[in-house]
Structure 1
Amino acid sequence: MGVMNELINRENVGMLAKILAEAAPGSHWPHVVAAASELDLLSLRARTDAVSRALLADLRLLPDPGYPTAARAFRSALTAAGFTGWILWPVSEAAVTLALEAGSGADPGKDFDDCLALLAELTPRLTGEFAVRRLLAADLERSLQAIQGWTVHPDEHVRRLASEGTRPYLPWAVRVPGIVLAPEATIPLLDALYRDPSDYVRRSAANHLNDVARHAPALVVATAQRWLSAPDSNTAPVVRHGLRTLIKNAHPGALALLGFVPASIAVNGPRLDRDSLALPGELAFDFEISNTGPADARLAVDYVVHYVKANGTRSAKVFKIGALTLAAGETRSVTKRHAFRQMTTRVHHAGVHALELQINGIRHGHTEFQVRV
């Protein structure tokens, strides 16, 4: 994480102050300059917040403080090649803060709308997916109306922002309750993007659909079915990626949509290469699947590790192996290795773990083994 923290550092914060001074003649940015020397012990998110606060403090010292002045400075700074990269995260957050503060005047939404446009202008230099979420939380309907227009923008980064910025569970980002409570609200964005010419955009749309599956699986299956009824050459992989969590969770509708229907099979295994391992270590296992039915069988093959939790109970996590098609009477052998090591995202605990297979949503061959920490 230390390397990630350095995405915002003394050098680029100092450069930001210089660029803004040139972009807004007569302006001074002492708080930004001071912030550059106060970052060393902070995380990336904390650095973003510190620089954003410094930007706001300096902007409020200008003769005409407020969102319009900030927006002019930031747009002027876009002419500088150095106005790019992660230093734009605090810039976008500062712009949103000022836009949300502007609630008076003949059109209180003018700054709000312009801030959305500004994020679209900034996002080719660095994604505005984090900052836009505060605008979505403040006025979901107004934001989505503008964001729908981004789906036909000529820049792929802006089109991706339409999908990525509105994801229900975007990593590192604040939640937008309205998007979770009204999962259908962002489907029109995905409808416009799932056949996008850019794989960068399509992958975001698939990840967004997978996010929605966490709280609205029926909507996701219906959406994927609709897409598959009018596909292009990229639709099938987009749908597979968008349904991946539902497949791991053995959702019947998702399995059927991808052709993983109940099949007559025999499973031999899994066989583990050891019954005990110490961390860090690897567990190897193998198994055979036989198609005992009279027709070809399309199979989604996964495996499940039942991890021991701190309280001694176990929690299952599904891992993907792949899709297989077996002819009638065919047997296929599969070998796999699974690594066990301590990570920031998964803390291992000593105890009796278990492994089993999951084929077309059905569990097979529950086998236990010991992990020593």
Structure 2
Amino acid sequence: MPFADELISRHTAQSLTRAIRTAAPDADLTALRAAPQQIGPLPLRQRADLLRDALLTDIPGDYATLARTVRTARDKAPHFTGWLIWPVTSAVATRAVQEGDTASFDDALALLASLTGRLSSEFAIRTLLRHDLDRALGTVVGDWTGSADADVRRLASEGTRPYLPWSVRVPEILARPGVTVPVLDVLYRDESEYVRRSVANHLNDLSRDHPDVVVHAVRRWLDDPDGNTERLVRHGLRTLVKRGHPGALELLGFAPAVLDVDGPRLDRDVVPFGGSVRFTASIRNAGDSPARLAIDYIVHHRKANGGRTGKTFKLTTRTLAPGERIEVTREHSFRPITTRRYHAGRHAISVQINGVESDRAEFELATTDTP
């Protein structure tokens, strides 16, 4: 499996050049022909930008000229698909914004929708959203969410995500809480799991900054659900559940409970780099009614400056009858991983149940030469 940067490669640049040659046989394509030699040291998004700029250089003129070339390539070049579509759609959006008229803007949206089945146009639409959010959302909500094509419906949700990976941010989406919720309102009951998964990820993005907006939307959805709504909601609220947001927990049926919690208890006080620590906690329902529990645990990692930052991990969900007791246990590894740097010193583990954190059990993460 290729690294992410390699998704747009020298071969991608060469394929794009051949496709554009099919559509514009008289064009010199100097910039596109040079691109394979320039792409090597660049990360993925910069590779897409390089090919976008090369296409804009080699197909000069107005928006209509570029759009005509792209449509010809789409209709006549069989290899006009895959990751080369990212720079193509980005070029279309960029030229439309440069043109500055609504006809070009609207046509660019239509062209992106026609290409999204070959590779999602989710990255390119960000340029149009940044230029005129309300006009773009008018097409997204009015046309795309009702499309017969699941790829276009997914584009409506995915392209407007607040924190779409690999993409540029759209500041106005971040600054206007709930502006994309009308997109999700149409799609949360979509027949396609592909589309619903995007809705859940969009919802999770939105929860990072505007949890109350998310809870309000989900409460409406749960008043008018279908057979897939509960699963979508659980996935979309995953970050809020880890944060212990009361509204999100309540929507999922995790109400405040009267509990006796003993622990967590650790099996060691010193953990070597690369080693692990096992903890156990005893949980008893001390109330007089059944308690549905979302049980997580938090590792409080020592930072380089001596402070701590918590990372929440899923543990289990259980329903306890009045007086019922369970023990939960987990072994947590400190083996080296690329996404986290460990620092020697005092760490801690706590258990979080329905958003309420237990006492913390501390331990020392030792250097490799600690006996």
Matched with 1:130 is 123
Provide the TM-score with structure 2 as the length reference.
0.94
Which amino acid in 2 is paired with 1:160?
Answer: R
Which amino acid in 1 is paired with 2:74?
Answer: L
Matched with 2:179 is 185
Matched with 1:197 is 191
Identity rate of aligned residues, in percent? 52
Q: Secondary structure at the match of 2:213?
A: helix
Shift in CA distance, 168/282, structure 1 to aligned 2, threshold 3 Å? same
Shift in CA distance, 342/110, structure 1 to aligned 2, threshold 3 Å? farther
Asked if the contact 1:341/1:348 (under 8 Å) is kept, the reply is no
1:68 matches 2:64 = yes
Shift in CA distance, 341/112, structure 1 to aligned 2, threshold 3 Å? farther
Q: Secondary structure at the match of 2:147?
A: coil
Segment drifting more, 80-89 vs 305-314: 80-89
- Measured after TM superposition, the shift of residue 147 of structure 1 is 0.8
CA distance in 1, matches of 2:161, 2:113: 16
CA distance in 2, matches of 1:278, 1:158: 51
Matched with 1:229 is 223
Q: Secondary structure at the match of 2:260?
A: strand
**What is the CA deviation profile of residues 301-335 of structure 1, one whole-angstrom value per residue up to 9, with x for unaligned ones?**
11111111111111112122232111222222222
Asked if the contact 1:124/1:157 (under 8 Å) is kept, the reply is yes
Asked if the contact 1:283/1:338 (under 8 Å) is kept, the reply is yes
**What is the CA deviation profile of residues 220-246 of structure 1, one whole-angstrom value per residue up to 9, with x for unaligned ones?**
111111000011111111111111211
Matched with 1:347 is 341
- Measured after TM superposition, the shift of residue 50 of structure 1 is 1.3
Q: Equivalent of 1:93, from 87, 90, 93? A: 90
- Measured after TM superposition, the shift of residue 78 of structure 1 is 1.9
1:140 matches 2:133 = yes
1:20 matches 2:20 = yes
CA distance in 2, matches of 1:340, 1:117: 50
Which amino acid in 2 is paired with 1:168?
Answer: P
Q: Secondary structure at the match of 1:6?
A: helix
Asked if the contact 1:51/1:90 (under 8 Å) is kept, the reply is yes
CA distance in 2, matches of 1:26, 1:90: 21
Asked if the contact 2:86/2:124 (under 8 Å) is kept, the reply is yes
CA distance in 1, matches of 2:170, 2:335: 34
Q: Equivalent of 1:372, from 338, 344, 366? A: 366
CA distance in 1, matches of 2:111, 2:364: 55
- Measured after TM superposition, the shift of residue 344 of structure 1 is 4.2
Q: Equivalent of 1:242, from 230, 236, 253? A: 236
CA distance in 2, matches of 1:278, 1:151: 53
Shift in CA distance, 253/47, structure 1 to aligned 2, threshold 3 Å? same
Matched with 1:10 is 10
Shift in CA distance, 310/29, structure 1 to aligned 2, threshold 3 Å? same
CA distance in 2, matches of 1:16, 1:300: 50
Which amino acid in 2 is paired with 1:128?
Answer: S
Q: Equivalent of 1:166, from 160, 180, 184? A: 160
Q: Equivalent of 2:106, from 76, 93, 113? A: 113
Unaligned runs of 5+ in 2: none
- Measured after TM superposition, the shift of residue 272 of structure 1 is 2.2
- Measured after TM superposition, the shift of residue 340 of structure 1 is 2.4
Q: Secondary structure at the match of 1:232?
A: coil
- Measured after TM superposition, the shift of residue 346 of structure 1 is 2.3
Which amino acid in 2 is paired with 1:251?
Answer: H
1:220 matches 2:214 = yes
Matched with 1:277 is 271
Q: Cα RMSD (Å) of the superposition? A: 1.6
Unaligned runs of 5+ in 1: none
- Number of equivalences: 365
CA distance in 1, matches of 2:267, 2:85: 50
1:47 matches 2:47 = yes
CA distance in 2, matches of 1:150, 1:279: 51
Asked if the contact 1:56/1:94 (under 8 Å) is kept, the reply is yes
- Measured after TM superposition, the shift of residue 99 of structure 1 is 0.8
Which amino acid in 2 is paired with 1:305?
Answer: V
- Measured after TM superposition, the shift of residue 342 of structure 1 is 4.0
Q: Secondary structure at the match of 1:346?
A: coil
Provide the TM-score with structure 1 as the length reference.
0.93
CA distance in 2, matches of 1:246, 1:278: 32
Shift in CA distance, 195/331, structure 1 to aligned 2, threshold 3 Å? same
1:305 matches 2:310 = no
CA distance in 2, matches of 1:341, 1:55: 45
Asked if the contact 2:15/2:84 (under 8 Å) is kept, the reply is no
**What is the CA deviation profile of residues 327-359 of structure 1, one whole-angstrom value per residue up to 9, with x for unaligned ones?**
222222222232324444322222111110000
Q: Secondary structure at the match of 2:178?
A: helix
Q: Secondary structure at the match of 1:289?
A: strand
**What is the CA deviation profile of residues 238-271 of structure 1, one whole-angstrom value per residue up to 9, with x for unaligned ones?**
1111112111112111111211111122222222
Q: Equivalent of 2:74, from 54, 74, 78? A: 78
Matched with 1:33 is 33
